[in-house]
Amino acid sequence: MTITIQPYPSSPVQDKKTNNFHPAIKLIDPPVLTPGTGGILTAQSATELNRWVYDPRIHIEPSQSKHIDTRSPAAHVANIRDVFSVNMSDLASVLGVTRPTVYAWLAGQEPKEEAVIRIQQLSRAADKFNHANIIRLDKLVHRPILNGRSLLDILKTDEDPITFLPTLKAIADREAQTRRESKGSGKHLRSLDDVLSEFPVSIYERS
């Protein structure tokens, strides 16, 4: 008996160097991930973007980060006291509380929410007065030069003290100029009424 062994049909081996892609598939540029955007860009679109970003004719304003006030209520209270140069009794009156309460706030006790809002508003106003560099502001706080009222009177109300900042700045600058003038001219002896009379608009009333 003779047994004949048929060779197993071999399948054609593809050349590994040859990529046989399906004819329906079209090659595209490899995607490029764009960190922080959640999307992708093709190499072509990335090139266009790069050309746009570095175009010297295009100016992009830098983003302005909003300033965050991280000061504590105690720091705000101290800021109000120091800028306006008020004593503890006047400070308590401005904040609408008692002196022991003010001392407690300065020591770190947390004020109530409505008090915190009031404290922060006055502290920000104090910042603007401080930046205005009003000469001898401590000498102006108690003087009734704002329609018969003082800055301290204004601070005790719900009025915005910033409204009166230009007037106080003008008065302080004018008085500083008067003090610098020669003593021989006699201008250094002028009263506050004389100084204020030089303003085109009356800014205070006598009681």
Residue boundaries of the structural domains of the chain = 70-131, 133-207
Eight-state DSSP code of residue 79 = H
pLDDT tens digits for the chain (207 residues)? Answer: 555 555 555 555 555 554 554 454 444 455 545 555 555 556 666 566 555 555 555 554 555 556 788 999 999 999 999 999 999 999 999 999 999 999 999 999 999 999 999 999 999 999 999 999 999 999 999 999 999 999 999 999 999 999 999 999 999 999 998 888 855 565 555 555 555 555 544 444 433
- Classify 42 as helix, strand or coil: strand
pTM: 0.59
The answer to whether 94 and 86 are in contact (CB under 8 A) is yes
Residue 84: which of 115, 122, 114, 120 has the closest Cα? 122
**CATH number belonging to the domain at 70-131, selected among 3.40.190, 2.60.40, 1.10.260, 1.10.1200:** 1.10.260
